[in-house]
Amino acid sequence: MKRYALRQLVQLTVVVVGISILSFAILHVIGDPVLLLLPQNAGKEEYERYHKLLGLDKPVYVQYWKFASRALQGDFGKSWYTDTPAFKLVIDRMPPTLYLTTAGLVAALLIALPLGILAALKRHSFVDNLCTMLAVAGQAMPIFWLGIMLIIIFAVRLKALPASGYGTWQHFLMPAFTLGAFLAPITMRLVRSGVIEIMNMDYIRTARAKGFGERKVVVKHAFRNACIPVITVLGLQFGQLLGGAIVTETVFAWPGVATLTVDSIRNQDFPVVQCAVVLLALIIVSVNFLVDIVVGLIDPRIRVA
Amino acid sequence: MRRTLTLASTLLVLLALGWLTPADAQTKEDTLVYALQSDVDTWDPPNSVLREAIILGYHVFDHLAARDLKTRRVGPSLATSWKTIDDTTWEVKLRQGVKFHDGSPFTAKDVKASFERVLDPAKKMTARGNHAKIKSVEIVDDHTVRFKTDGPYPLFVERMTALVIHSEKVLREKPHEWVQENPIGTGPYKLVRWNRKQEHLLVRNDDYWGAKPTFKHVRIRIIPEQATQIAELISGGVDIIKAVPPDQMDVIDKSGQARTATSPILRTALLQLDQAARGGPNPFTDKRVRQAANLAVDADAIIKHVLNGLGDRTATAVNPMAFGWDPNLKPYKQDIDRAKKLLAEAGYPNGLDITFHTGPPVVEPAIQQTNDAIVADMAKAGFRVKQNYIGDNTVLVARIKEGKGGPMFNWSWGYYSVFDADAILYDVFKCGEAYAYYCNRELDDLIHAGRSTLDQKKRAETYVKAQKLLFDDAAYLYKWGLRGVWGISNRVEYQAPADEVDRMFLVTPRKK
Amino acid sequence: MKTVAAGGEVALGARAAAPETARSRVNLRRLWRFKWGVAATIVLLLVVGSAILAPWIVPYSPLTVDIQHRLGPPAWMEGGTRAHLLGTDQIGRDLLSRVIYGGRVSLVIGTAAVLISSSIGVLLGLAAGYFAGRVDWSIMTLVNVMLTFPFVLLALAVIAVLGPSLLNMIAVLGVTDWPLYARVIRAETLALREREFVMAGRALGMSHLRIVFRQILPNLVSVIVVIATLQVARVIILESFLSFLGLGVQPPTPAWGNMLGEGRVYMLNSWWIATFPGLAIFVTTLAINLMGNALRDWLDPHMKV
């Protein structure tokens, strides 16, 4: 178990470092931050001075090293537009996004698990295709359209939920459902294929031969084991969720880090973008790591693979 | 396995519930909710060009003078009376017994410190140009101040409504960055907290010297999505929203939960053309091209169909409500043939390509739709316009300030709520100003003449000349004076402000 | 004689005819099993067809502005006219024409991006699976980095700096989508590697290139086709995402994504402006998904996709 965990930890570190390099590379190589900061009529002297100030005269790997060493201490520099430390800006807005994505994942599971299992059990039938349609509906329907429709129905017409904002559990329901609908298709597809695979396995046949009722077979054996691939990939979905989170946060005026990152990219506020990307990656990878550990605990075969 | 899952999910749910910020201790009855589309960049109003900063400033700070919304005349606020000693000296008497939010008393030294800070060229404050005519501020005694001006300064009284008074103690002791986030003023509300880009919470200043606001708390929520703002208004989540698109007014009026109110406002919309070549050489340095652009657009039709009539056509950028407006000057009328001819004369017989920088509808309603209509009109004359949409208003404004707005960009100006032609001519047309892309020495002379005499008749004549010059020279592409549209919840009473400053401290609950 | 001959011919004819009809009956039954897939394919053909034939079938140019007739409702509603079947948008452009033209953009971006990403992904997957060892490890690490990195951020960062345009969109979408292919192809290649015919090929001295492209790849075609089909749907949705954020195809060029974005403030009254493009996205992606599912089941029911 320890060796497995260690291996996963190594991979986690490599991935985070890789992402930090990637984000650093994109931002520094493609745009010239000095040109963006200075007014157009600034002279060459000003340009040189700023260049030195930002440390851009040093070779790229030195810049990266400085960035990385500072980042490890939590110093991602100051936002170029508001002069507050980038780290503080990102951390302040991280919890709402994390809660939202978790709630979205839960919602996705609530939709996808029953649909996926049903579809797997009744393969190729009308029910199978219906489940696919329902699940795909959420993804194919543009997120903001779904979001605004929900607002119109539940907030405006029924006055049952607050239209937007953050604070109570009621504020969570619509955004979570919107995000969940976005994730459901992929999750359902995974559940379905996972269950199909397992249903064909020997131990299921054994269980049936033993005389267990179909229901017991499904719930006790198939379901439990189908969870493994689902949990594994859910960890990955966390990263893909960010796209859905951006639109959801905009529509529901959710004070999350997704909209902060989008705004910062538009502003070309590099320190904030870098900090957000690295921290998000760290979280995503840590989630994956935890998932891998949990799955390793459940199924010893994976540890040896 | 099942146990593990159950445990995990329970933990998750507990985590979610436990860590959620508890709803604040305000109740619905004592809290007024106001929505903004984008957040301010600072709580230091003289350091920002954003309308939102001006509005928020009115809540936490006071100015020397204040405008009476019914008569539109300027009356006392922190200053109780004023008079001219001579052509270049104003003496202002200050109100006694006023305290700042931190307890320190308001005296003349605070006035001096506030003005000197703005006037200091080293500080590069945004509002400096507004008050540049003031040469010095002298303390006569604790409640009397003398302003010496650089020549006669006719706008002095109007401009007293345009600068918030900071505490001298705060300015002296605290660094610049602190002041951006912690406004200490004398105003009817105090800032409790600011979650950037999310919301502000204000609480009533119970020691306020003036009329105390009815609502104890004000929540200012940042809701960038317009459809969400309207949904919030009609579902009771928000009480007041501004810059409602004319197309959505029927949704609000039919909801039974809220209503709309309109008012002509000072804000005037226009398209700036880079005549001054701040962004380098471009076709708009040629007068014929600028005239062609003005002749291509059928602004009256756009006002009628796209804004549902909510706009007042202007011949130049001077608003009908501003002093100095020339009612006899008629605006450009659409004439596609003449536009094409002018373009051909200027060397563009086959039309030309233009980049057009546009932004989101933060203060100008239906801006995207009107831009699309303008672009379509200009295409008829041969202008092939490509829109470059910048989604963040702060970014757009910053780029314009740096000279990167050319060759054409969307602009509107609120006059800093000063009802005078000078309030737009100086900042938007004077050569070298940060937000001006026009340079004409003759106009500069006229601007200077207009602000250098106290004789209102002479000033009016100067401004007539200035407007004729701007019209003939087609300095920019002129549009219209905006009409503000507000959405107001039926649970409150609120008067749509003609000076575009929303005053939450004047809102009262509606009697059932 | 003649009658006999005639009878004989008839008899022969009948016997000859019998197997024909039997065969066609079998085919029809097989197709009926995939009726949803077939229906989806027909719908898809309609969409693609209308997109290709757009210039000839649209009633108006998608760019004609007519502010006098703006916000016109669809023909069947009060205030609608037959002249504009689906109504007009916020500056009077005909919605039907724009929706049809919008299909062009979505389909072009979808197919081009998928071609790019599948090519990259398959090649890398083959390399990882076939050569294993360090090559595998490095490619898989890259895959993990890219899968963890939220696509939207990457797209935003790149497009925000390079500027929004059709080509940039295709490039971004193509270059970021390959990890999924790589993963699946790698797994399949790893399995195929150990098969006898591959070992035989190696024993015969076939070069690696030949083994990969002549022996392994042909077995993977069905997997690739199914994944690619499903990814087209995903790319179309991602395009609408980016357009919603203002980073996709720029107006006035009609694209379902930017039409959604422009129509979002009208959801409360002139709902048709956003709804019809949204419906187009929905129907198209649903059809692609159903067709992809049917394709998968038809080619190889055991495919784990």
What local confidence, expressed as pLDDT, does residue C233 receive? 86
Q: Has residue B208 got a pLDDT over 80?
A: yes
Question: What is the distance in angstroms between the CA of the first residue and the CA of the last residue of chain B?
Answer: 59
The angle formed by the CA atoms of residues C136, C138 and C144, to the nearest 5 degrees, is 100
pLDDT band at C2 (very low <50, low <70, confident <90, very high): very low
Cα(B366)–Cα(A66) distance, integer angstroms: 47
pLDDT of residue A61: 74
Q: Is the pLDDT of residue C11 over 50?
A: no
A interface test, pick of C134, C146, C148 with most A CB neighbours within 10 Å: C148
- Residue contact B2–A224, C-beta within 8 A: yes
Compute the nearest-CA separation of C164 from chain A (Å).
12
Give the residue-averaged pLDDT of A214-219.
Answer: 67
Instruction: Summarize pLDDT for B224-239 with one digit per residue, the tens.
Output: 888 899 999 999 999 9
Work out whether strand B408-413 and strand B477-489 pair parallel, antiparallel, or are unpaired.
Answer: unpaired
pLDDT the model gives residue B380 = 94
Closest approach of A2 to chain B, Cα-based (Å): 20
The DSSP letter of residue A78 is: B
Which residues numbered 110-149 in C keep a CB inside 8 Å of some CB on A? 141-142, 144-145, 147-149
Q: What CA–CA distance (Å, rounded) separates B290 from C153?
A: 40
**What are the C-alpha distances in Å from C172 to residues A237, C109, C139?**
20, 11, 19
Please give the residue that has the higher pLDDT: either B363 or C110. Answer: C110
Is A243 in contact with C238 (Cβ distance < 8 A)? yes
For the segment A123-149, the average pLDDT, to the nearest whole number, is 79
Of C147, C282, C290, the CB nearest to A239: C147
Q: What share of chain A has pLDDT > 70, as a percent?
A: 73
C-alpha B466/C-alpha B142 separation (Å) is 42
Q: Which amino acid is at C271?
A: W
pLDDT in tens, A11-25: 778 777 777 777 777
Is it the case that residue C3 has pLDDT exceeding 50? no
What's residue C241's pLDDT?
79
At B8 the pLDDT is 57
Q: Which of B344, B238, B222 is nearest to B283 (CA)?
A: B344
**Would you state the structure tokens that stand for residue B410, as one six-digit string?**
């969307």
Residue A197 has pLDDT above 70, yes or no: yes
* Chains touching B, CB cut-off 8 Å, 3+ pairs: A, C
CA-to-CA distance for A244 and C158, rounded, in angstroms? 19
Predicted local confidence at residue B376, as pLDDT:
93
Most confident residue range from C29-38, C115-124, C185-194, C222-231 = C115-124
Neighbouring subunits of C (3+ Cβ pairs under 8 A): A, B
pLDDT at A30 over 60: no
CB-based contact, A163 to chain B, within 8 Å = yes
Q: What is the pTM of this model?
A: 0.81
Q: What's the confidence (pLDDT) of residue B140?
A: 94
Q: Which SS3 state, helix, strand or coil, does residue A278 take?
A: helix
pLDDT of residue A194: 74
In this predicted structure, what is the pLDDT of residue B298? 95
Contacts of B394 in chain A (CB under 8 A): 81, 267
Q: Quick one: pLDDT band at residue A31, thresholds 50, 70, 90? A: low
What pLDDT is attached to residue C270? Answer: 92
Residue B250, min C-alpha distance to chain C (Å):
8
Helices (H), B156-241: 156-159, 168-173, 176-181, 226-235
Question: What pLDDT score does A46 carry?
Answer: 67
Asked whether residue C76 carries a pLDDT value surpassing 60, the answer given is yes
CB B150, CB B50: distance < 8 Å: no
Q: Does residue A29 register a pLDDT over 70?
A: no
Share of chain C above pLDDT 70, in %: 86
Closest CA–CA distance from residue B373 to any residue of chain C (Å): 7
Return the residue of B nearest to A157 by Cα. B235
Q: What tokens does B180 get?
A: 């951006």
- Chain A residues whose beta carbon lies within 8 Å of the beta carbon of residue C152: 242-243, 246
Average pLDDT value over all residues in chain B: 90
DSSP state, residue A220: I
pLDDT of B286 reads 94
The encoded tokens of residue B150 equal 């650089």
B227 touches chain A (CB under 8 A): yes
Chain C touched by B384 (CB under 8 Å): no
Nearest CB to C157 within list A11, A133, A265:
A265
Q: Among the listed ranges A68-77, B8-17, B271-280, B439-448, which one has the minimum average pLDDT value?
A: B8-17
Q: What is the mean pLDDT of chain C?
A: 82
DSSP string covering B113-171: HHHHHHH-GGGT-GGGGGGTTEEEEEEEETTEEEEEESS--TTHHHHTTS-BPPPHHHH
Query: A48-57, B5-14, C42-51: which range is least confident on average?
Result: B5-14
- pLDDT tens, position by position, C170-183: 988 888 888 888 98
Work out the average pLDDT over B418-445: 92
Average pLDDT over residues A264-284: 78
pLDDT of A299 over the 50 cut: yes
pLDDT for A261 equals 82
Q: Model confidence over C105-152: pLDDT tens digits? A: 888 999 999 999 999 999 999 998 888 888 888 898 888 777 766 677
A74, pLDDT greater than 90: no
